[in-house]
A = this chain, B = another copy of it.
Amino acid sequence: MTADQQLLDAALRAWKSNADRAEAFFRPLSEEQLQQEIAPGRNRLLYLLGHLAAVHDAMFPLLGIGPRMHPELDAPFLANADRAVPSPHSADDLRQRLGEIDAALWSAFGRWTPAEFLARHTAVSDEEFRKEPHRNRFSVLLSRTTHVGFHLGQMVLTHPLR
């Protein structure tokens, strides 16, 4: 592998490992366990499950992969605080959606060359991107990896990571 391929490979491994840890964390939990709050009065685990699904789903249009798979996740899990908007989804539905979203992202990531990862993301215009070329897909991949880690740090307060 060339240097750019190796650097990309490392970032893809970091994304995959964190996304997999989040999925593995939620997998064995009961509906009741998912009602647990990460700290008194803070988000429930169920909210974080839906939130990760919503944020990852939003990566499809942001990265120019395609349309959202599940835009209905935004109101209950992204635009609003926990419990503010009822979710129509069961915990099993949410787990399944997160798994499908992550799998579809992973499949798209595997098709891109380093140069394609360095292309602009869709929240930046061509003109802005000329001035700020670091606003690329790869930066989104890195920041979303840290975002998973941010919430793993909260989730682990309720149950150990696997």
Q: Taking beta carbons and an 8 Å cutoff, which residues of A are in contact with B?
A: 1-4, 6-11, 13-14, 18, 38-40, 42, 114-115, 117-118, 133-134, 136, 138-139, 142-143, 145-154, 157
Give the complex CA separation of A16 and B138 in angstroms.
16
| Contact in complex: B42, A138 (CB < 8 Å) | no
Majority secondary structure, A binding face: helix
Complex copy number for this chain: 2
Give the residue name and chain of the B residue nearest to A13 (CB). Answer: B134
* Chain B CB within 10 Å, residue with most, of A40, A142, A147, A148: A142
Of the candidates B1, B6, B8, B146, the one whose C-beta lies within 8 Å of that of A145 is B146
Q: Which residues of B contact A134 (CB under 8 A)?
A: 6, 9-10, 13
